[in-house]
Amino acid sequence: MIILKPGSVTLAELRAVWNGAPVELDGAAAAVIDEAADAVGRIVRSGRTVYGVNTGFGLLAQTRIPDERLLDLQRNLVLSHSCGLGEAFADRITRLIMVLKVIGLARGHSGVRRMVVHRLLVMLEAGALPVIPSQGSVGASGDLAPLAHLSAALIGEGSVKMDEEIFPATAALARLGLEPLVLGPKEGLALINGTQVSTAIALDTLFTAERVFTSALVGGALSTDALKGTDAAFDPRLHAVRGQPGQIAVAAALKRLLEGSEIKASHSDCGKVQDPYSFRCQPQVMGACLDLLRNAARTLEIEANAVSDNPVIFPDADDAVSGGNFHAQPVAFAADMLAMAMCEVGSISERRTAVLVDPKMSGLPPFLVRDSGVNSGFMIAQVTAAALVSENRTLAFPASVDSIPTSAGQEDHVSMATHGAMKARRIAINAAGVIGIELLTATQGIDFHAPLRTSPRLDRAVRTIRSRFPHYVSDRYLADELGWTQETVLAGGFSELLQESLL
């Protein structure tokens, strides 16, 4: 059980939520939620004109809404903004969106009543997940369309997924013994405004990238051993004099992974000085990627705890301050960093696979199979890796430098964070496929050095693969092996060796 303490929820706690941990809201949040809701009530009674409380939205912000129509205003806002398209988000992303929305509202600066936050928590506990289309947000003014679909479910509109079935929202609420919410002043705006969708997708990408990255280090070390490569390039002194923290950490991790390898010991006096860059420069390339992951993680942990709707309520002075906390530029940059890192992780991995299947470079049988010619071995597996890397390079162009004005020019600069996070997620999944192929080819290469064994740590990865698939003796249907290995990378099956120490 994760107890959510708004403003101080950690990345480790969010990772646990991503992995399915249930949540509760810290009891201390109730008072600050109530204070902000009371402040909105006082603002309405005072007759002041406040954006989003008693005005229209966007270009219509100058239109004053009479008090008797304020409830219509909030409901209409949710309905009119429910304009998403595309496939629905995966369940784990939707759960993260809901949890992040709870955190933001429970900071006590959004002005919603406690029952609104409670409704989200009840639905989370019951596994009742709003069906949220994945397309339609430009990352400012918040993730309006997808959050409107989330909000619509609370008021009995749209669809909800429960027990692997899709129900009309009213039917799903009825199954939970709930009536549709009637939104009060500011509540619709507080629900649909914010960066929770782009942040949730970026967090999903980050947590996936962590597994892909650490699996890539295992694959890289295994490929180095299969090549009978030298670990001299991982000497800690070399990296200390440069000083880049990610590089230092990766070199140490690779050195540790190779400790105790009989294969490495067998050629310690062979006189080999240098390996190709994709082997020798792993600390420099993967270290830079690690630094990007760590930087993105810091940004996303802050944003996960942020108040990012508008206007922001300050109950101590009954102030409602209009600003731009909904602008997801920090998330957009974080997503693009993740995209670039995952693109490079896959790129350097594919090059190592290409070396291993090339007998001129590796000294191993052509395409890692005996009786080549009759057998093609891993020839086309490397082609698949190259195809995924090429696709990733196309996807890696930064979304954060794009902007299209919306809302009749009122919202004239946007972040594209949601799109950026979605394509970064696709890059990470593709990279997992590339790493899976490397793990298969490196394991095959290790087999050719028998009876010598790789290191105890790397042997765990070899045994994981060989417990499922035998040594490749002659051509066989490979797609299932590639798919299984990709899924195992995404599930963290190769990353437990390193993830906690590095990330």
Residues assigned a catalytic role? 51
| 454/478 Cα distance (integer angstroms) | 24
Residue 113, helix vs strand vs coil? coil
Nearest of 405, 478, 473 to residue 440 by alpha carbon: 478
**Rounded (to 5) percent helix, strand, coil in the chain:** 60, 5, 35
Q: At what angle do helices 70-81 and 144-154 cross, to 10 degrees?
A: 120
Nearest of 116, 112, 73 to residue 98 by alpha carbon: 116
Local structure of residue 141 (DSSP, 8 states) = S
The DSSP H or E segment spanning 3 is strand 2-4
Residue 292 CB neighbours (<10 A): 22
Instruction: Supply the DSSP string of 143-201, one letter for each residue.
Output: SHHHHHHHHHHHTT-SEEEETTEEEEHHHHHHHTT-PPP---TTHHHHHH-SSHHHHHH
Nearest of 172, 187, 242 to residue 73 by alpha carbon: 187
| 111/303 Cα distance (integer angstroms) | 19
Task: Evaluate the CA torsion angle 69, 74, 79, 83 in order and state its sign.
Answer: positive
| 289/343 Cα distance (integer angstroms) | 9
Nearest of 80, 59, 93 to residue 145 by alpha carbon: 80
Residue 369, helix vs strand vs coil? coil
The DSSP H or E segment spanning 319 is strand 319-321
| 173/179 Cα distance (integer angstroms) | 6
Instruction: Retrieve residue 157's tokens.
Output: 């509109």
Instruction: Supply the DSSP string of 414-454, one letter for each residue.
Output: ---HHHHHHHHHHHHHHHHHHHHHHHHHHHHHHHTTTTS--
Q: At what angle do helices 11-18 and 282-304 cross, to 10 degrees?
A: 90
Residue 308, helix vs strand vs coil? coil
Q: Count the alpha carbons within 13 Å of 67 in the hemisphere toward its beta carbon.
A: 9
